[in-house]
Amino acid sequence: MPTLADDLQTWLAQNRGRIGKLALEPRLEHIGRVARIGDGVATVSGLPETRLDELLVFESGVRGLAVDLGEQAIGCVLLGNTGGIAAGSIARGTGEVARVPVGDVLLGRVVDALGVPLDGGAPVAVETLAPVEQPAPAIVDRALVTRPLETGLLVVDSMVPLGRGQRELIIGDRGTGKTAIAVDAIINQRSTDVICVYAAVGQKGSSVAQVIAAVRRYGAPERSIFVIGEADAAPGLQWLTPYSACTMAEHFMGRGRDVLLVIDDLTKHAAAYRQISLLLRRPPGREAYPGDIFYIHSRLLERAAKLAPERGGGSLTALPIAETQAGIISAYIPTNLISITDGQIYLDPAVDVGKSVSRVGGKTQAPVLQSLAESLRLDYAQFLELEVFTRFGTMVDERTRKVIEHGRRIRAVLRQPQFAPLALGEQVALLTAVSEGVLDDVPLDRVDVFRECLGAWLPEHCPELVALDDRATKLSEDMHDRLTTTLRALAGSVAMPTTTDRP
């Protein structure tokens, strides 16, 4: 009978063999300790090897980014909540930069800045990871912006047209419809193959939910990604959100796709960065923002590009949003962003055509639209100026009255409801109606009905117009005449309210 000593011997022999087979290897780990913690930032000492933007992992599993390298300690932005981290806790250097999942697995998903799902769905099946900070494409890798990115908003597409690969700032006071313009642009991509990435920074949960619901209802959610850093997320996560979203968008650009990136909004992004910087005791500059605030936005927006054909020819169009206070666009962050982007759409609260510009998109506008939009801006500007006079009850001559009545119809046509982007054919028809004076006999309050009826009317009466694409050239004379006749008939039928219109 085996004794206890024999058992022990056998056990030892077995386990010696097992340990011998184990592949043991030495691993070098950098371990530091938290010196100070709070408000989303931590100071860590004992990690002299750490490099800028290196990812650190804390004892609680929360990750952080080293953004400030001092001689004694490093400043670290936390990418999660501070719970579970205390002074003296251990922090490990990883030797890596922050990376996020990229690829088709993200399409249709709602994630945070680290790619963690927020939609209650399964974890993102990571196939490829890409660093959140990447250098912008070099000049030789870029090509001219040639194709338009249609937003479906007549006022934008006709007067401040955007090109694929352009950066256009949407700027305005609180509640002027900045998000609405961006969301309509995303929704309009349901009829294109453009992939949309919506990055929310410092937004209320309810606003974000509305955007997601609108895209799911009216747009192409299977081709959209939502990257969310809500107002109550850690400041580090909010700060990282646009970079992560940009990386997710770049992945598709690199594969030859056209991508639209909306960043809502960079004013809140700047505020999150200011908060982090002040907590890290960096010297404050103008409006208490740190000195590199311009750089952090420019290095983000420079990543928007139209790639050369030998690089796949993809494009990344960026629509950053900025909020102004009391309409002052000369404040620090707005002027920074205006100088970084290729133009701006200024909301006051309607699109202010005089202050909105697009420095690139004009050349890409569909030629058929271009020929109609040429005089529109001028006519509209002239009307706005004349209208100011009539506000004081000035008597005007017949010609001026006509210009004003015509201008009012332009404005009525440009005023568009939410979630109802217009196809190119509809835009061409509307602008033809304006330029031919078809609407001048339609009462102002019936112009909306005219626009609503147009969608169903066109396929029946002018099918060629429905087939227009962004390369279509100016309408032939014959086509133009037929369209005008059709539009006149439609105008006649909507000019008088019928009993069925009334509620």
Binding mask 143-172 for ligand ATP (x = CB under 6 A): -----------------------------x
> Which partner, Mg ion, ligand ATP, none, binds residue 269 by CB below 5 to 8 Å per kind?
none
Stretch that binds Mg ion, among 30-38, 100-108, 175-183, 470-478 (CB under 5 A): 175-183
Stretch that binds ligand ATP, among 94-102, 173-181, 268-276, 301-309 (CB under 6 A): 173-181
Do the Cβ atoms of 312 and 306 come closer than 8 Å? no
Stretch that binds Mg ion, among 34-42, 102-110, 177-185, 425-433 (CB under 5 A): 177-185
Nearer CB in complex with ligand ATP: 128/325: 325
| Binding status of residue 179 toward Mg ion by CB under 5 A | yes
Number of residues engaging Mg ion in binding (CB under 5 A): 1
Nearer CB in complex with ligand ATP: 261/475: 261
Q: Distance (Å, rounded) from C-alpha 416 to C-alpha 439?
A: 16
Between residue 374 and residue 433, which ones bind ligand ATP under the rule CB under 6 A?
416-418
Secondary-structure breakdown of the chain: helix, strand, coil percentages, each rounded to the nearest 5: 45, 20, 35
How many Cβ atoms sit within 10 Å of the Cβ of residue 357?
18
| Binding status of residue 317 toward Mg ion by CB under 5 A | no
DSSP for 409-423 reads HHHHHH---TT-PPP
Stretch that binds ligand ATP, among 90-98, 131-139, 178-186, 324-332 (CB under 6 A): 178-186
Q: Distance (Å, rounded) from C-alpha 228 to C-alpha 240?
A: 10
Do the Cβ atoms of 104 and 223 come closer than 8 Å? no
Do the Cβ atoms of 40 and 82 come closer than 8 Å? yes
Q: Where are the alpha helices (DSSP H) in 22-168?
A: 154-159
Stretch that binds Mg ion, among 18-26, 56-64, 172-180, 340-348 (CB under 5 A): 172-180
How near is the Cβ of 179 to Mg ion at its closest, in Å?
A: 3
Q: For 284-301, what is the HEC assignment? A: ECHHHCECCHHHHHHHHH
| Triad 78, 79, 85: Cα angle to 5° | 50
From 33, 359, 415, 488, the catalytic residue:
359
Q: What are phi and psi for residue 236, nearest 5 degrees?
A: -65, -40
Using alpha carbons, list the distances in angstroms from residue 331 to 171, 270, 499. 12, 13, 52
> Which partner, ligand ATP, Mg ion, none, binds residue 291 by CB below 5 to 8 Å per kind?
none
Pull the structure tokens for residue 172.
Answer: 């305005």
DSSP 347: E
Between residue 309 and residue 368, which ones bind ligand ATP under the rule CB under 6 A?
323
How near is the Cβ of 350 to ligand ATP at its closest, in Å?
A: 9
How near is the Cβ of 449 to Mg ion at its closest, in Å?
A: 29
How near is the Cβ of 270 to ligand ATP at its closest, in Å?
A: 15
Closest CA to 216 of 207, 229, 226, 206: 226
Number of residues engaging ligand ATP in binding (CB under 6 A): 12
Instruction: Report the residue number whose CB is nearest to Mg ion.
Output: 179
How near is the Cβ of 321 to ligand ATP at its closest, in Å?
A: 7
Binding mask 99-118 for Mg ion (x = CB under 5 A): --------------------
Grouping H, G, I as helix, E, B as strand and the rest as coil, residue 469 is coil
Residue 490 pairs in a beta bridge with none
Do the Cβ atoms of 220 and 189 come closer than 8 Å? yes
Which of 162, 171, 180, 227 binds ligand ATP (CB under 6 A)? It is 180
How near is the Cβ of 174 to Mg ion at its closest, in Å?
A: 8
Per the annotation, the verdict on 27 as an active-site residue is: no
Pull the structure tokens for residue 489.
Answer: 């008939």
Nearer CB in complex with ligand ATP: 150/323: 323
- Kindly list the residues in this chain that would bind Mg ion in the complex (CB under 5 A): 179
Active-site residue set: 359
- Kindly list the residues in this chain that would bind ligand ATP in the complex (CB under 6 A): 172, 174-180, 323, 416-418
